[in-house]
């Protein structure tokens, strides 16, 4: 009986520790900018574990992949996925120059800083990120965006991933988050 209680307590403690490091998308909002472009804002919490930070300080690059999907709500049928795309953001630390470079993806210029907190913010925060042109979506339907963040697995050269298998344990994956898109739709759907 005593061993069973200890096992249950250890299991609850392990679950609490894992839940404390759970990555989530928070502060998600969508708005229409100039009634033409729909933009979203959100941020990912708990994306960087201490072991990951130490690996970044030693020069190992990390890439976060953000999955975006736009759906049309269809009554009494599964919703229709209209668009889907990926945005990849990569952080690199130059140990000689002591600078962090964050490639924001989507053809933008990489940003550089010496402040790790600022680099982490660039990796995990989207502010007024354009996701759709309002005229490309049928206003007679409701639409929503689903977004998810994932950490791409670390690829080490020369079979080092076989020697250091613990690096694959640093998985970061959020659950899907649904963000309603403001299109000024009518209350009655077709």
Q: What does the pLDDT look like over 8-26, one tens digit per residue?
A: 433 433 333 333 346 889 9
The residue segments making up the domain with residue 98 are 25-181
Residue 9 falls inside a structural domain:
no
Whether the pLDDT of residue 54 is over 50: the answer is: yes
Residue 72 falls inside a structural domain:
yes
Q: What is the pLDDT of residues 56-69, one digit of tens each?
A: 999 989 999 999 99
Residue 190 falls inside a structural domain:
no
Residue 71 falls inside a structural domain:
yes
More confident residue, 23 or 2: 23
pTM summary value? 0.77
Residue 189 falls inside a structural domain:
no
Query: Nearest CA to 156 among 167, 145, 147, 146?
Result: 167
Number of domains in the chain: 1
Instruction: Report the pLDDT value the prediction gives residue 189, as an integer from 0 to 100.
Output: 45
Q: What is the pLDDT of residues 109-148, one digit of tens each?
A: 899 999 999 999 999 999 999 999 988 999 899 999 999 9
């Amino acid at each position: 009986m005593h061993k069973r209680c200890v096992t249950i307590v250890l299991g609850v403690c392990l679950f609490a520790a894992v839940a404390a490091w759970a990555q989530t998308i928070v502060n998600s909002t969508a708005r229409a900018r100039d009634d033409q472009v729909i933009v979203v804002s959100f941020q990912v919490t708990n994306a960087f574990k201490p072991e990951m930070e130490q690996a970044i300080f030693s020069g190992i690059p990390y890439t976060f992949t953000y999955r975006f999907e736009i759906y049309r709500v269809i009554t009494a049928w599964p919703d229709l996925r209209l668009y889907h795309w990926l945005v990849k953001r990569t952080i690199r630390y130059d140990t000689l120059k002591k600078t962090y470079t964050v490639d924001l993806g989507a053809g933008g210029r990489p940003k550089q800083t010496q402040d790790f907190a600022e680099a982490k913010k660039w990796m995990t925060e989207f502010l007024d990120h354009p996701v759709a042109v309002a005229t490309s979506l049928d206003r007679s339907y409701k639409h929503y965006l689903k977004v998810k963040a994932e950490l791409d697995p670390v690829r080490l050269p020369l079979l080092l991933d076989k020697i250091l298998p613990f690096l694959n344990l640093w998985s970061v994956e959020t659950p899907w988050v649904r963000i309603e898109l403001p299109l000024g739709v009518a209350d009655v759907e077709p």
